[in-house]
Structure 1
Amino acid sequence: MTNPLVSILIPFKNVDQYLKECLKSIQKQTYSNWEVIAVNDNSSDNSLQIANKFAVSDSRFKILSNKESGIITALRKAYNNSNGRFISRMDADDCMSPKRIETMVNSLIEHGKGYLAIGKVKYFSKTGVNDGYDRYEKWLNKLTATGDNFKEIYKECVIPSPCWMVLKEDFEASNAFNPNRYPEDYDLAFRFYEKGLKCIPCTTTLHYWRDYDNRTSRTSEHYAQNYFLDIKLHYFLKLEYKPTDSLVVWGAGKKGKAIASTLVEKNIPFYWVCDNEKKIGKDIYGVLLKHYSELENIKKSKTIITVANEDDQSVIESFYHELRLKPAIDYFFFC
């Protein structure tokens, strides 16, 4: 496999402040055999005019328009019009490092089918990056450095949506952009995980992630926490849980209650535990909350943990270690 064509898929909408910088960062790539399939998702600003100027001067840019609406349909159209052996995605308001494509192509050529190329990311903003994004960046990059991303997939999205590359056949096997499920990047990460793709470790920053007040992940209802929780539970029940397991929910906060409510609606039996003395012994949704020590008596347990505090998570991990239960096999952190 020599010098394969890379298809870079870019949906864009009202990003005229940033699109030129994004597309220039692609033109500056050290790897030159790429095509950009950029789909205008009903922009009302000058984004389309900017994109078209690049297409006039550089034939590697193909600009299309989305007759429907939404990032999933735009991505689907971009992919359906691509020709590359390798598939990658880019956000129209971000920037690539100059060696991003070269680094990912070389990684995939070396490892072959069944692998996913990723890279470290760096947030940047004129007003400074908030603590939440800073923690996410550090957490994500730590996983990426060792390729252990999927071990913590139920915590957060472990594959940065604009910084991955995969062979077309693996992308097709993962059902491409066909599902209409948001957040689409998190859903795709789960489908990569479901198909058993392995992340190639990377210690280099390949993508610069722009943060600003009206970016889609901040403003769209599709990126609200309830959507993330729905995806986590959907894939947990599909990939991890078996009817012969003793399902346990640990935590009676907002997320714990949301999960418990859904399980009750689905008629899936479960134990509900916590360490909050004010809640232990209460009947919520017809399920009695018990002290977490009850886990010592539950056989073949599989636990969803909704406790977010990192210190509390460490205590919980120690408790499971004493029970000889393993993370990402017997218990899963959902936050």
Structure 2
Amino acid sequence: MTAAQVSVLLPYRDAAQTLPACIASIRAQTLEHFELLCIDDHSSDGGAELVAEIAREDPRIRPVTAPGHGLVQALNFGLQTARGGLVARMDADDIMHPRRLELQQRAMAEDAGLTVLASCVEAFADGPLTDGFRAYIDWQNSCVSAEAMAADIYLEAPVAHPSVMLRKARILAHGGYRDGDFPEDYELWLRLHQRGEGFGKLPKRLLRWRDHGQRLSRRDPRYARAAFDRLRADYLARDARLLAARDRLVIWGAGRKTRSRVGWLLRQGYRPRAWIDIDPRKIGNRLDGVPVVNPDWLRRRSPRPFVLSYVAAHGARPCIEAELGRLGYRKGTDYLHVG
């Protein structure tokens, strides 16, 4: 068999119901030469036996058992075990577009600067999609360019984990996935971004991404709001843009819930020059000695403040972007949104 340049990493645990359709979509790829590394994280529902049976029909499939327990250990074991220089992530309940591997491998070959290449995605579910998941998918599919992903990386994870193709050597050089009280994929994206690795996204929807109540992101505390807030603050505190603007930092959003989220950053030694708000009941007050001012305060300030917008209210971000644009502020250079 021709040596595979692409390894598909498919960790699974108790996914016997969805594995057949998932594996069938991978076997149907237009790129013929790949290996499918099916990593059993100690299933008890017959999934491992099902994979072994399918593997007897297709030599591209390598069933293995993770030596440890948990998703992060399974992923790192897969990275170490993969034969291909390019690694495509896949989850056991999702469906690959037939041309995904072909198109991603081609793009990676054409651009040696890419370490992470995602794609747009299509959401599906057994029942109605939740409003939150639908909004996240819409944002994901609108955040395509490298510049857009860099500008909004502290808002949300800008790539869908099961849609990515990774340059294995670069991921291993940065230590692979880390285990902790945080979402392992978002931590990897933040780390790679901070270290200057290249991100890309194909505008075609090459993954059908399933939404269901048993997703880890809905039931594991590592994916809770507080875990994301802590992780963002840790990397934001070390972001070169923020370090350069440490003495001219301004926070947009002076509400109680916003200040609670900002607290993770302030505990790392940052102190804003001002809080921005549009609520007349807040403007004119002081928070720990720092004034609450309206957006016009930003006009003609020298040196120009660096704005972190923490406002999460529905529909607020486009309004804030419009106001900052009117004042001449550029996203990614003069301000960032924080999720």
TM-score (norm 1): 0.89
Question: Residues of 1 paired with 2:23 and 2:203: CA distance?
Answer: 24
Gaps of 5+ in 1: none
Please name the residue that 1:40 is paired with: 40
1:208 Cα deviation after fit: 0.6
AA matched with 1:249: I
- The alpha carbon displacement at 1:63 in A equals 2.4
Which among 302, 305, 311 is matched to residue 307 of structure 1? Answer: 311
Deviation of 1:226 after TM superposition, in Å, equals 1.4
- Measured in 1, the distance between the counterparts of 2:200 and 2:245 equals 34
Residue 98 of structure 1, CA deviation? 0.9
For 2:121 and 2:39, how far apart are their aligned partners in 1?
Answer: 24
Correspondence for 2:278: 275
Aligned to 2:253: 251
> Which string of whole-angstrom CA distances, capped at 9 and with x for unpartnered residues, describes residues 69-106 of structure 1?
32111111111111111112111111101111011111
Specify whether residues 292 and 3 from structure 1 end up closer, same or farther in structure 2 by C-alpha distance, changes over 3 A only.
Answer: farther
Q: Distance in 2 between matches of 1:249 and 1:103?
A: 41
| Residue of structure 2 equivalent to 1:92 | 92
Q: Secondary structure at the match of 2:56?
A: helix
Mapped contact 2:117–2:199 kept (Cα < 8 A): yes
State the shift of 1:280 in Å: 4.0
Secondary structure at the counterpart of residue 209 of structure 1: strand
Does the 8 Å CA contact 2:120/2:201 hold for their aligned counterparts?
no
Q: Which region of structure 1 is more displaced relative to structure 2, 182-191 or 319-328?
A: 319-328
What SS does the aligned partner of 2:236 have? helix
**CA offset digits 1:256-287 (Å, max 9, x no partner):** 22233224433322233322334445565x35
Task: Give TM-score scaled by structure 2 length.
Answer: 0.88
How many angstroms apart in 2 are the aligned matches of 1:255 and 1:328?
24
Q: Which moved more, 1:45-54 or 1:152-161?
A: 45-54
CA distance in 1, matches of 2:140, 2:74: 26
SS of corresponding position for 1:193: helix
Instruction: Report deviation, 1:57.
Output: 3.0
> CA contact under 8 A between 1:72 and 1:180: conserved in structure 2?
no
Question: What amino acid maps onto 1:133 in structure 2?
Answer: F
TM-align CA RMSD:
2.6
Please say if 1:328 is aligned against 2:329: no
Moved over 6 A (4+): none
- Identical positions, percent: 26
Where structure 2 has 5 or more consecutive residues not aligned to the other structure, the ranges are none
SS of corresponding position for 1:162: helix
Bigger mean CA deviation after superposition, 87-96 or 255-264: 255-264
Structure 1 residues 334 and 35: CA distance shift in structure 2, 3 A:
same
- The change in CA–CA distance for 1:254 and 1:101 in structure 2 (over 3 A counts) is farther
- TM-aligned CA deviation for residue 29 of structure 1: 0.9
Q: More displaced, 76-85 or 262-271?
A: 262-271
2 CA distance for matches of 1:241 and 1:26?
42
1: CA distance, partners of 2:78 / 2:115: 22
1:172 aligns to what SS in structure 2? helix
Whether contact under 8 Å (1:116, 1:166) holds in the other structure is yes
Q: Is the 8 A contact 1:147 1:201 kept in 2?
A: no
1:57-96 equivalences in 2 (<5 Å): 57-96=57-96
The CA deviation at 1:132 is: 1.7
Q: Which amino acid aligns with 1:295?
A: L
Cα distance in structure 1, aligned partners of 2:298 and 2:147: 31
Contact 1:11 1:39 in 2 (8 A): yes
Residue type of the partner of 1:307?
Answer: V
Q: Is the contact between residue 279 and residue 289 of structure 1 (CA under 8 Å) also seen in structure 2?
A: no
Deviations 1:40-60 (A, max 9, x none): 223232222222223333232
Secondary structure at the counterpart of residue 144 of structure 1? coil
**For 1:100-149, what per-residue CA distance to the aligned partner results, in whole angstroms no more than 9, with x for missing partners?**
10111111112223353221210111212222222222221122378733
| 2:311 partner amino acid | V
Matches of 1:118 and 1:264, distance apart in 2: 33
Matched with 1:156 is 156
Within 2, Cα distance between the matches of 1:40 and 1:211? 21
Between 150-159 and 48-57, the greater mean CA deviation after superposition: 48-57
Q: Secondary structure at 2:11's aligned position in 1?
A: strand
Q: Quote how far apart the aligned CAs of 1:310 are.
A: 5.3
Matched residue SS, 1:204: strand
Deviates more, 1:90-99 or 1:45-54: 45-54
Out of 298, 310, 318, the residue aligned to residue 295 of structure 1 is 298
